[in-house]
Amino acid sequence: MKIIAFGGSNSTQSINKHLATYAASLFENAEVEVLDLNDFAMPLFSVDLEKEIGQHELAKAFLAKIASADILVISLAENNGNYSAAFKNLFDWSSRIMKEVFQQKPTLLLATSPGARGGASVLEIANNALPRYGAQIKATFSLPVFNANFNLEENKISNKELDKELQDIIKASF
């Protein structure tokens, strides 16, 4: 079983990439590939630019990575209550090539933030929208107050109750 995991942020210190990496590590007998959105940086999408340059090769590469997965683990950053610009741009370019960007892959959808809501707004938006683009969302999980509940040195959730909740979600849903 192959898992593609990524954080929906282009921050080099992405807390969502940390959460996605950790969550993917909880799947038994899985090969995990963690993507970095910086490897898929493209100019800001517009239909005019698409007409000029065509389908972007990095969007094609991203779609190929998704195609190689059995399961997706996506942890979305929340910027002003919505997707980060980096994720949205990659999503926009990719959806012009293939509407079902997430290719009917079983998906664990996550979010975290430094705040108490743990990216709840972006998680709600994505949970409603991404199935229209081929994400088979099997479960969602929000990690509030990242800095208090995640140990960066050990790259794992430090809050025992929240860690058990995520582990139970994975066992029950996948």
Please state the domain count of the chain: 1
Does 29 reside within a domain? Answer: yes
Q: What pLDDT does residue 50 have?
A: 97
Question: Is 125 within a domain?
Answer: yes
Residue 164 belongs to some domain of the structure: no
Compute the average pLDDT of residues 142-154: 98
Domain membership of residue 43 (yes or no) is yes
How deeply is 53 buried, as exposed, middle or buried, from its count of CB atoms within 10 A (0-12, 13-18, 19+)?
Answer: exposed
Check residue 92 and give its pLDDT: 98
| Average confidence (pLDDT) over 29-45 | 98
Cite the DSSP H helix spans in 85-154: 85-97, 120-129, 146-149
| pLDDT, position 32 | 98
C-alpha gyration radius of the chain: 15
Q: Which two tokens stand for residue 90?
A: 């990659």
**Would 165 be classed as within a structural domain?**
no
Amino acid in the structure at residue 122: V
Residue 13 pLDDT: 96
In this structure, the strands spanning 105-112 and 135-143 are parallel
Check residue 84 and give its pLDDT. 98
Residue 171 resides in a domain: no
Residue 27 located in a structural domain: yes
57 pLDDT band, cuts 50/70/90, is: very high
In a domain, 169, yes or no: no
Domain range for 151 is 2-159
What's the pTM value of the predicted model, to 2 decimals?
Answer: 0.98
CATH (domain of 42) = 3.40.50.360
**Chain-wide mean pLDDT for the chain?**
98
Confidence of residue 168 (pLDDT cuts 50, 70, 90): very high
Cross-strand partners of 73: 5, 108
HSE at residue 139, side-chain half, CA atoms within 13 A, is 16
The pLDDT tens digits of the residues spanning 82-136 come to: 999 999 999 999 999 999 999 999 999 999 999 999 999 999 999 999 999 999 9
